Amino acid sequence: MCGIAGYFLKKTDKDSSRNIDLLLDPIRPRGPDDEGVCLISRQEKSCQFYRTDRTVPSISSGVPHINDKGAVVDHDIAFVHSRYAIIDLTEGGHQPFISSDRSVVAIFNGEIYNFIELRDELSSLGVRFRTASDTEVLVEGYCVWRERLWSKMNGFWTVVLYDFKDGSITLSRDRIGVAPLYYREMEEGLFFASYIRPLVNIAPERTDLDNDVILGFAQTGIKDHDLTTYYSQIKSAPAATTVTFRPGQYRLSSAERKRYWDFPATRMAPGDISFSNAIEEYREMFFNAVKLRLRADVKVAFELSGGLDSSSVVAAAALLRNNNITTYTVKTRGVDEEPYARAMLKSYPVDYHVLSDLEDDFLADYGRFSIIMEEPYDNPADYNHHKMLQIMKREGVDVVVTGAGGDEVLAGYDTSFWPRAYLELRESGPSALLLADWHEFRRRFKTLRSSAQTLRHYLIDPLKYVKRRFDGAKRSAEEALLTRAMLYRRQYGQLSFQERIIYHFKVALVPYYMRSTDHFTMGIPVEHRFPFLDYRMIELGLRMPISYLFRHGWTKYILRKAMEPYLPKKILWRKKKMGFPFPYRQYLTANKAVFKPLLTHLKEIDFPVNEFGNYEQLLKTNPVLLWRLISTAIWVKYNLKI
């Protein structure tokens, strides 16, 4: 991963290069290994490359410095890049990168995991390569395949490229939106960057807050759901989409937009694929997804929580690498999954590390972390994750592979997905009805806790339930202020099972998780990789029959059966899924003296804090909401005054 930024203007201008430093400085932490700048004149069909103080020496000789007086040429396009070297650590991966025929210049943030296969295919077509970088494969691939390139790539990316042949500028994001790309449309032209901060810097006096987004996040926790940010003038480019600007086009509304990929709209029926064949296909694809994400010229390590998803990734990698891998596990107070993670060592004697007490520095560090995150975040556990990755970085790790994404692909959030799945299964035929009812019975009586909750529901709570249902629960104060996020959340109850899965990818979970993860990883920097979010895994998971996901009281049943030969039963058939919940009430109670005064900063942006209740009330009734208000206040204090 890297940092990119730049602009394309309505008029050729030499003085606009003053914006280079404003764009470059904030993205520097993303790319500590190298930097480069390219200024392009569409009128002259020419480009000039520049160095900075951080450009690698082998590139610097003979290239002017971007701040040298008289060196800046007339231009209307600027490409800026800061490099985090993962593949081809030599100067061969330096960017901006120009094609061998000098027809295309590009900047690229991300990794193309199947670059070896694409390079071999291009070589068979006569393309000669000068480097071992995936960047060159991307650029030369575009020269050969044009728009067909994007659907050929397996990885994550944000690409901005200029084509000298037709004067077009193309922006492309990966299918899921793992790599960020923000843009700002101005009178002068369009500016873009990997972070929000550069786009604020270029015109802070002309930057307004989007109060609907700010309030909507506080109400719902939904963020990044409609390509908006906390700033009205700054948007996010769409994922799985290319946007092509022809000469004279400077707004997305007038540019040519093409969606090159989408989520499967329908699922297979059990008659379309047998369960045994589905297991084999899923297992083969999963192992290949992990294998591709082992490709790097730096050290790769693995997060191991002791849950099904991360343990599956570690098992696959250990088998592929003959146990020559490094894992990191977090020991958390009150919710300790480390014994489950340790169970993996009996089968896979990997290099195993345990970290603990990661949250201890948060009180002293939340201001710096807020600046890294750029916008409020809904869980202080993000800081624990960031701290974990910092330790891994100090121990020589540059790439981290994680099990995140499995719950979204395979409907692992039981309370979110099963109710609708249950209804649809019952309606699909007698055999499916029996499977659905059996699964429902098993899930309700799988553990002592779930059994007690079920009995309570049927024997004690009916009258209370009926009263809530028909008397009407009193609408919470925050819902009285209707926002776009509230409207999105209210749509959920009307969606089919498949629509709910896609909703989490497009609205509720994945967009926010991708953005926040990008920020707290690249603020170090460390690159995160997600085998479960390989687009082939998503396509297969979202096409599997519902009954292959839910069976005998278990979620993600197909994954459990696919990994049954490779995982300890202690992990494979865990009855209770812990995760890493944050103890909001206890933490906010213990640190009330620190956090309560911060809420006064909300008055600086006219936030209707009184509509939500005071600190003590929310501590009792909704500590998660209280944290979102605190996080917003921290953002006001540390981000609006930079």
* 426-465 tens-digit pLDDT: 887 776 777 777 777 777 676 656 555 555 554 544 444 3
User: Per the domain annotation, does 229 fall within a domain?
Assistant: no
Residues 185, 111 within the same domain: yes
What are the tens digits of pLDDT across the range 375-404?
999 999 999 999 999 999 999 999 999 999
The pLDDT, as a whole number, for residue 447 is 60
Residues 465, 548 within the same domain: no
Q: Is 605 helix (H, G, I), strand (E, B) or coil?
A: helix
Residues 406, 423 within the same domain: no
pLDDT at 466 over 50: no
The structural domain count of the chain equals: 4
The pLDDT, as a whole number, for residue 610 is 87
Q: Answer yes or no: are the C-beta atoms of 79 and 169 closer than 8 Å.
A: no
Give the domain extent around 600. 584-639
The pLDDT, as a whole number, for residue 452 is 59
DSSP 189: E
- Give the confidence band of 470 by pLDDT, cuts at 50, 70, 90: very low
Domain termination residue (choose one: 572, 597, 623):
572
User: Per the domain annotation, does 214 fall within a domain?
Assistant: no
Residues 11, 84 within the same domain: yes
Distance of alpha carbon 167 from alpha carbon 247, whole angstroms: 6
Domain termination residue (choose one: 474, 501, 528):
501
List beta partners, residue 32: 83
pLDDT at 575 over 50: yes
User: Per the domain annotation, does 265 fall within a domain?
Assistant: no
The pLDDT, as a whole number, for residue 283 is 98
Residues 153, 26 within the same domain: yes
- Give the confidence band of 474 by pLDDT, cuts at 50, 70, 90: very low
User: Per the domain annotation, does 253 fall within a domain?
Assistant: yes
Residues 405, 510 within the same domain: yes
pLDDT at 490 over 50: yes
Distance of alpha carbon 123 from alpha carbon 98, whole angstroms: 18
User: Per the domain annotation, does 220 fall within a domain?
Assistant: no
Residues 405, 359 within the same domain: yes
Distance of alpha carbon 304 from alpha carbon 316, whole angstroms: 12
pLDDT at 632 over 70: yes
Give me the CATH number covering residue 76: 3.60.20.10
Residues 328, 353 within the same domain: yes
Residue with tokens 């990994």: 563
Q: Residue 38 half-sphere exposure, CB side, CA atoms within 13 Å?
A: 20
The residues, ordered by sequence, that sit 6+ positions from 496 with a Cβ below 8 Å of its Cβ are: 420, 424
pLDDT at 191 over 90: yes
The pLDDT, as a whole number, for residue 479 is 53
DSSP 72: P
The token pair at 334 is 């009150």
Long-range CB contacts (< 8 A, 24+ apart) of 455-463?
none
Between these two residues, 358 and 603, which has the higher pLDDT value?
603
- Distances, alpha carbon 4 to alpha carbons 7, 40, 176, 180, in Å: 11, 16, 19, 10
- Give the confidence band of 174 by pLDDT, cuts at 50, 70, 90: very high
DSSP 422: H
The pLDDT, as a whole number, for residue 478 is 45
Residues 255, 366 within the same domain: no
Residue with tokens 């290949």: 288
Residues 174, 105 within the same domain: yes
User: Per the domain annotation, does 219 fall within a domain?
Assistant: no
The token pair at 289 is 């997804």
Domain termination residue (choose one: 501, 529, 561):
501
What are the tens digits of pLDDT across the range 292-349?
999 999 999 999 998 999 999 999 999 999 999 999 999 877 677 889 999 999 999 9
User: Per the domain annotation, does 314 fall within a domain?
Assistant: yes
User: Per the domain annotation, does 223 fall within a domain?
Assistant: no
- Give the confidence band of 467 by pLDDT, cuts at 50, 70, 90: very low
Q: Is 50 helix (H, G, I), strand (E, B) or coil?
A: strand
Residues 330, 395 within the same domain: yes
Residue with tokens 């995160």: 528
The pLDDT, as a whole number, for residue 1 is 77
Distance of alpha carbon 89 from alpha carbon 622, whole angstroms: 49
Average pLDDT over residues 587-598: 96
pLDDT at 232 over 90: yes
The token pair at 146 is 């044009």
Residues 326, 385 within the same domain: yes
pLDDT at 251 over 90: yes
What are the tens digits of pLDDT across the range 403-432?
999 999 999 998 889 999 989 888 877 767
The pLDDT, as a whole number, for residue 377 is 94
Between these two residues, 77 and 62, which has the higher pLDDT value?
77
The pLDDT, as a whole number, for residue 426 is 87
Query: How would you classify the pairing of strands 326-331 and 351-356?
Result: parallel
The pLDDT, as a whole number, for residue 334 is 67
